[in-house]
Amino acid sequence: MGYNSRMANLKDKYCIVGVGETEFSKNSKRTTRAMAVEAVRKAILDAGLEASDVDGMLSYQNGDSTFAPFVAPDLGIRLNFYMDVVGGGSSTEALIGLAMGAIEAGMCKTVALFRSMNGYTEFRIGGTGARSAAPVRGPDLAQVPFGMRSAGQNFAPTFMRHMYEYGTTSEQVAHVKAAHSRHAGNNPKAFEKHRVTVQDVINSRWIVKPLHLLDCCLETDNATCLIVTSADRAKDMKQRPAYIMGVAGRVSKPRVDFHWAHGPISRVAGYYAKDIVFGQAGITPDDVDVTGSYDAFTFTTMLQLEEYGFCKKGEGGHYVSSGIIELGGKRPNNTSGGHLCEGYTHGMAMVVENVRQLRGTIDDTCPGAAEGRHTYDYSPGKCRQVKDAEITMNLGWAMPATGSSLIMRRG
């Protein structure tokens, strides 16, 4: 396909040098602007930078948040480049690629990238409240009049067809929630820290078959931020940089509008993205130490891991229930607890977590965590640092037909 020769020249030339987030809550009591300012400020300070060092800003939202021109001035940042895009899940990785492009084009030098959302108190991400009452027109007429509007309702036929074609079971995917809950228990900032079992997931009430309540992610208020800059600048910065090896943004199936029309519907966008991102990075799934497979739902994590080749197509149920994805396993997934347990950030927190994994300074309760000294004791309330994590991969998800991905290595 030529991705190797054409795009690999940006491999390792850009880094994530700062990360920041607000509290994950269901009651932020403040605006998305206030939260964004806090998250961006924290990321700048985390990188050891000053306001004058940042001259680019990107954000994504769905008509539910503030914009870069309101966040930058609050912090005294004068921008040479900014853009606020419409987008939800899978925007993080795509915008990291755009940030690299903006810097490469010489439009700016260092980009802050944020997502701020009152996903519980203002615009319920699950679709209840004001969003459920919006008028129905255009493409929505093909599904919304039939009571199919929320993310879970939109994705459920894909999950159901996977069960039909491959024999995937509710019990298998419930392991994703169980694993992420154990990870969240070792994450002091996680909103939902208590451990749940596979049986807890199966026994929780149905939301939309095949999804139980505990197959669905949280809805929370929060803001998150990443700082992207060139490897040349990153060398002299405060933190050990996370080098970007490859990125694929908003890769789609042939139809996005009515994606059920095309292909086996159990195939998701990662099928098309994997050659791009692995081609750039020059590695295979075997080389990846930690994954961040988007967990809007338990099924989402499973579908993407198999589509990117961490197991054979159709064997995702076995993969996620085998222990591989747990801390202490061969390739832990969403060590923060992810959207199922830490909080819902439209994907950005999963990249934040992997940056910290690569630094070796995961914010767990180990006494020397900030200096990179960890116990690797993954029992409740203890460590969640993956030992010697060298390469991480994020598998971003917007919907079955659209996804993004990112491969990083430690500096």
Partner 1 sequence: MPQPVTYRGMSLIVPDNDTEWKEFYEHARAHRLVVRTCTACGLMRYPALHACPWCMDLGWSWREVSGKGTIYSYEVVHHAIQPGFKDITPYAVVLVELDEQRGTPTADEGLRIIGNLVRHDFSPEAEDKVAIGKRVQVVFQDLAEHMALPQFILSGEPDQGRVWRLGG
Extract the runs of DSSP E, i.e. beta strands, from 210-306: 211-212, 221-230, 242-252, 290-293
Q: Give the three-state DSSP class for 181.
A: helix
Contact indicator for 144, 94 with CB cutoff of 8 Å: no
Does position 160 bind partner 1 by CB under 8 A? yes
Does position 142 bind partner 1 by CB under 8 A? yes
Residues, the chain: 411
Contact indicator for 180, 338 with CB cutoff of 8 Å: yes
Does position 2 bind partner 1 by CB under 8 A? no
Does position 263 bind partner 1 by CB under 8 A? yes
Q: What residues form DSSP beta bridges with 11?
A: none
Q: Which stretch binds partner 1 (CB under 8 A): 31-39, 136-144, 244-252, 341-349?
A: 136-144
Rounded-to-integer distance, Cα 237 and Cα 377, Å: 31
Residue from 76, 188, 264, 372 binding partner 1 (CB under 8 A): 264
Residue from 5, 29, 63, 137 binding partner 1 (CB under 8 A): 137
Does position 150 bind partner 1 by CB under 8 A? yes
Does position 209 bind partner 1 by CB under 8 A? yes
Residue from 48, 73, 76, 145 binding partner 1 (CB under 8 A): 145
Supply 357's token pair: 């994994």
Nearest to 340 by CA among 166, 152, 84, 154: 152
Active site residue 294: yes
Active site residue 319: no
DSSP 85: E
Q: Give the three-state DSSP class for 246.
A: strand
Does position 300 bind partner 1 by CB under 8 A? no
Residue from 146, 236, 286, 388 binding partner 1 (CB under 8 A): 146
Does position 156 bind partner 1 by CB under 8 A? yes
Contact indicator for 196, 337 with CB cutoff of 8 Å: no
- Catalytic residues, which ones? 294, 344
Binding site for partner 1 (CB under 8 A): 126-128, 132-133, 135-139, 141-150, 153, 156-158, 160-161, 163-164, 170, 205-210, 213, 254-255, 257-258, 260-265
